[in-house]
Amino acid sequence: MEAVETVDMAQLIMESHELSTMINQSREVLEYLEAKRRMEADEEVQRLLLLFEKKKEQYEDVQRFGKYHPDYNHISKEVRELKRTIELRDSVQAFKRAEDALDELLYQVSRTIAHSVSDTIKVPSNNPFLEAQGSGCGTGGSCGCSVKKSS
Protein backbone atom coordinates (compact mmCIF):
# COMPACT_ATOMS: atom_id res chain seq x y z
CA MET A 1 0.00 0.00 0.00
CA GLU A 2 1.26 3.45 -0.93
CA ALA A 3 1.80 5.94 1.90
CA VAL A 4 -0.30 9.07 1.59
CA GLU A 5 1.51 12.28 2.42
CA THR A 6 -0.61 14.72 4.40
CA VAL A 7 -0.21 18.46 4.68
CA ASP A 8 0.11 20.14 8.03
CA MET A 9 -3.06 22.20 8.61
CA ALA A 10 -1.03 25.15 9.94
CA GLN A 11 1.02 25.16 6.73
CA LEU A 12 -2.14 25.02 4.63
CA ILE A 13 -3.60 28.00 6.50
CA MET A 14 -0.36 29.96 6.09
CA GLU A 15 -0.37 29.24 2.35
CA SER A 16 -4.02 30.34 2.09
CA HIS A 17 -3.14 33.63 3.82
CA GLU A 18 -0.35 34.12 1.28
CA LEU A 19 -2.82 33.48 -1.55
CA SER A 20 -5.35 35.92 -0.08
CA THR A 21 -2.61 38.56 0.25
CA MET A 22 -1.70 38.05 -3.40
CA ILE A 23 -5.36 38.40 -4.41
CA ASN A 24 -5.75 41.55 -2.29
CA GLN A 25 -2.72 43.07 -4.03
CA SER A 26 -3.99 42.18 -7.51
CA ARG A 27 -4.91 44.70 -10.17
CA GLU A 28 -8.50 43.42 -10.05
CA VAL A 29 -8.92 44.21 -6.36
CA LEU A 30 -7.26 47.61 -6.68
CA GLU A 31 -9.49 48.54 -9.62
CA TYR A 32 -12.57 47.24 -7.79
CA LEU A 33 -11.80 49.32 -4.68
CA GLU A 34 -11.11 52.44 -6.75
CA ALA A 35 -14.32 52.01 -8.77
CA LYS A 36 -16.30 51.45 -5.59
CA ARG A 37 -14.81 54.60 -4.05
CA ARG A 38 -15.68 56.64 -7.17
CA MET A 39 -19.23 55.28 -7.24
CA GLU A 40 -19.72 56.05 -3.53
CA ALA A 41 -18.36 59.58 -4.11
CA ASP A 42 -20.77 60.17 -7.01
CA GLU A 43 -23.39 62.38 -5.39
CA GLU A 44 -25.93 61.80 -8.14
CA VAL A 45 -25.63 58.02 -7.78
CA GLN A 46 -26.08 58.30 -4.02
CA ARG A 47 -29.15 60.52 -4.48
CA LEU A 48 -30.60 58.05 -6.98
CA LEU A 49 -29.90 55.10 -4.67
CA LEU A 50 -31.78 56.76 -1.82
CA LEU A 51 -34.68 57.45 -4.15
CA PHE A 52 -34.52 53.86 -5.38
CA GLU A 53 -34.77 52.53 -1.81
CA LYS A 54 -37.93 54.58 -1.26
CA LYS A 55 -39.43 53.44 -4.56
CA LYS A 56 -38.52 49.86 -3.76
CA GLU A 57 -40.47 50.08 -0.50
CA GLN A 58 -43.47 51.38 -2.44
CA TYR A 59 -43.02 48.56 -4.93
CA GLU A 60 -42.95 45.96 -2.15
CA ASP A 61 -46.19 47.42 -0.77
CA VAL A 62 -48.01 47.15 -4.11
CA GLN A 63 -46.53 43.68 -4.71
CA ARG A 64 -48.72 42.29 -1.96
CA PHE A 65 -51.73 42.88 -4.20
CA GLY A 66 -49.95 42.42 -7.50
CA LYS A 67 -51.47 43.76 -10.67
CA TYR A 68 -54.73 44.37 -8.83
CA HIS A 69 -53.24 47.28 -6.87
CA PRO A 70 -54.24 50.58 -8.55
CA ASP A 71 -50.63 51.86 -8.54
CA TYR A 72 -48.98 48.58 -9.54
CA ASN A 73 -48.13 49.49 -13.16
CA HIS A 74 -47.07 53.03 -12.28
CA ILE A 75 -44.77 52.02 -9.39
CA SER A 76 -43.35 49.06 -11.31
CA LYS A 77 -42.47 51.32 -14.24
CA GLU A 78 -40.87 53.93 -11.96
CA VAL A 79 -38.70 51.28 -10.26
CA ARG A 80 -37.53 49.85 -13.61
CA GLU A 81 -36.77 53.31 -15.02
CA LEU A 82 -34.90 54.40 -11.90
CA LYS A 83 -32.88 51.18 -11.85
CA ARG A 84 -31.96 51.74 -15.51
CA THR A 85 -30.98 55.37 -14.81
CA ILE A 86 -28.67 54.21 -12.01
CA GLU A 87 -27.15 51.47 -14.18
CA LEU A 88 -26.37 53.98 -16.95
CA ARG A 89 -24.23 56.20 -14.71
CA ASP A 90 -20.54 55.98 -15.67
CA SER A 91 -19.37 55.33 -12.11
CA VAL A 92 -21.87 52.48 -11.69
CA GLN A 93 -20.87 50.90 -15.01
CA ALA A 94 -17.18 51.13 -14.08
CA PHE A 95 -17.95 49.52 -10.72
CA LYS A 96 -19.89 46.69 -12.38
CA ARG A 97 -17.03 46.03 -14.81
CA ALA A 98 -14.48 45.98 -11.96
CA GLU A 99 -16.77 43.75 -9.91
CA ASP A 100 -17.10 41.31 -12.82
CA ALA A 101 -13.32 41.23 -13.33
CA LEU A 102 -12.76 40.51 -9.63
CA ASP A 103 -15.47 37.85 -9.67
CA GLU A 104 -13.76 36.21 -12.65
CA LEU A 105 -10.41 36.18 -10.80
CA LEU A 106 -11.97 34.63 -7.68
CA TYR A 107 -13.82 32.08 -9.81
CA GLN A 108 -10.64 31.04 -11.62
CA VAL A 109 -8.73 30.68 -8.33
CA SER A 110 -11.57 28.67 -6.78
CA ARG A 111 -11.86 26.51 -9.87
CA THR A 112 -8.12 25.84 -9.92
CA ILE A 113 -8.19 24.75 -6.28
CA ALA A 114 -11.35 22.67 -6.63
CA HIS A 115 -10.28 20.93 -9.82
CA SER A 116 -6.86 20.13 -8.38
CA VAL A 117 -8.83 17.89 -5.99
CA SER A 118 -11.37 16.55 -8.50
CA ASP A 119 -12.88 17.63 -11.81
CA THR A 120 -16.33 16.76 -10.50
CA ILE A 121 -16.32 19.47 -7.81
CA LYS A 122 -18.78 22.18 -8.79
CA VAL A 123 -17.46 25.73 -8.43
CA PRO A 124 -20.20 28.32 -8.03
CA SER A 125 -20.00 31.57 -9.97
CA ASN A 126 -22.07 34.71 -10.28
CA ASN A 127 -21.77 34.26 -14.04
CA PRO A 128 -24.06 31.48 -15.34
CA PHE A 129 -21.91 31.12 -18.49
CA LEU A 130 -18.86 30.28 -16.40
CA GLU A 131 -20.81 27.71 -14.40
CA ALA A 132 -22.11 26.09 -17.59
CA GLN A 133 -18.57 25.97 -18.96
CA GLY A 134 -17.06 24.65 -15.79
CA SER A 135 -19.31 21.76 -14.89
CA GLY A 136 -22.61 20.03 -15.27
CA CYS A 137 -24.70 19.11 -12.28
CA GLY A 138 -21.69 18.23 -10.17
CA THR A 139 -22.84 14.66 -9.54
CA GLY A 140 -20.61 12.97 -12.04
CA GLY A 141 -23.19 12.64 -14.78
CA SER A 142 -25.94 10.69 -13.02
CA CYS A 143 -28.44 13.27 -14.21
CA GLY A 144 -27.48 12.56 -17.79
CA CYS A 145 -26.39 16.12 -18.51
CA SER A 146 -24.09 16.56 -21.44
CA VAL A 147 -22.29 19.73 -20.37
CA LYS A 148 -18.59 19.13 -20.91
CA LYS A 149 -16.04 20.33 -18.44
CA SER A 150 -13.48 22.71 -19.84
CA SER A 151 -9.86 22.76 -18.72
| Domain carrying residue 42 | 8-111
Provide the CATH number for the domain around residue 94. 1.20.1500.10
d(C-alpha 127, C-alpha 111), whole Å: 13
50 in a domain, yes or no?
yes
pLDDT for res 142: 47
pLDDT means per 10 residues, the chain with 151 residues, are 73 94 98 98 98 95 88 94 98 98 96 92 82 53 49 44
pLDDT for res 130: 65
pLDDT for res 6: 77
Question: How many domains, in total, are found in the chain?
Answer: 1
pTM of the model: 0.75
131 in a domain, yes or no?
no
Q: What is the DSSP string of 29-52?
A: HHHHHHHHHHHHH-HHHHHHHHHH
